[in-house]
Amino acid sequence: MEAAHDYTPPVLLFNRHLETIYPSLLRKVSFRRPRRERITTPDDDFLDLDWYEQGAKKLVLISHGLEGNSNRSYMVGMSRAFFRAGYDVVAWNFRGCSGEINRQLRFYHSGATDDLHTVISHIARSYHDIRLVGFSLGGNMTLKYLGERIVHAAVKKAVAISVPLNLYTSCVVISRPSNWIYTRRFLISLSAKVRAKPALARVLDVGKLSAMRTLLEFDDHFTGPLHGFSGARDYYQRCSSITFLPQIKVPTLLLNALNDPFLSPECYPVVSNPNITTGYPGRGGHVGFARFDGNGLYWSEMRALAFMDETG
């Protein structure tokens, strides 16, 4: 099923990079402080969850993107939107993303659905109606989770935004010279986390960090081997959510802007699964979809709210 393509960006955001950078760096979202909870994973690591609670029966669980966290404007904006619509909300942090380095050698990655399942199982002790929202890497993780395993019965619907459905071809796209500013920013942040774990130097050659210029190089040397893959290509092949779309049984909305500077053509598939609604607006950038009309909601937040409420 295809959703209506009804997004029009503000006039000032006249290209894909402005549509991507403005929401990331300049959007300010005023909202209440969350309650932070730390839970333990089965391998004795920890995950930090930010709770926005008002005694609702329905809860939205939100997953961030590469090198994001629960405090990013797109996370707080989506949290605020659903909270005001009557939901309880949890915005969770992947391993090593909450401001404190995690305990185990491993970090997070695009296919780390074991951690997503741990969080869902924890929340499902108190909620029988859980909705999922995932951005970018978190969107890929969400779609992979929905299609690879028997989903927890509490999970009712999902929305995935700006998703690199094909990890390899999207990595090639983001490595283009026109996207160097994004690649450089990610590599600086990822490299800092590797260096913050001295124990990694005993199993991997940390000295190669300074010479890396692409995310593919980082994933080939660190992400892949550290998480049980033979290298970057094996990691991308096994974790790309596009291969899991046919198995998804939960009503799901996929929103990818056609001008997203991070995404390859393979990230806009014609989906035959009737449980998946696709929306591929011409504009929006990556995790963008800004609106300046004064109500504080971005188009992606409005679309996610509408989809979640379409069938209750």
Contact 226, 106 (CB under 8 A): yes
Instruction: Compute the distance between CA of residue 255 and CA of residue 165 in angstroms, rounded to an integer.
Output: 11
Residue 175, token pair as written in the block = 């490595």
SS3 20: helix
* Options 48, 88, 260, 300, the catalytic residue: 260
- Of 64, 109, 227, 286, which is the active-site residue? 286
- Catalytic annotation on 136? yes
Q: Are 287 and 162 in contact (CB under 8 A)?
A: yes
Residue type, 296: G
Q: How crowded is the C-beta side of 172, counted as CA atoms within 13 Å?
A: 10
* Residues written for the chain: 312
Contacts of 225 (CB under 8 A, 6+ apart): 204, 231
Active-site residue flag, 272: no
**CA 237 to centroid of chain Cα atoms:** 18
Sequence-separated (6 or more) residues with CB below 8 Å from residue 273: 245, 246, 248
Catalytic residue among 136, 240, 264, 300: 136
Residue 286 annotated among the catalytic residues of the structure: yes
Distance of CA 175 to the CA centre of its chain: 19
Q: Which two structure tokens, joined as six digits, stand for 198? A: 């001295």
Q: Which residues are catalytic?
A: 136, 260, 286
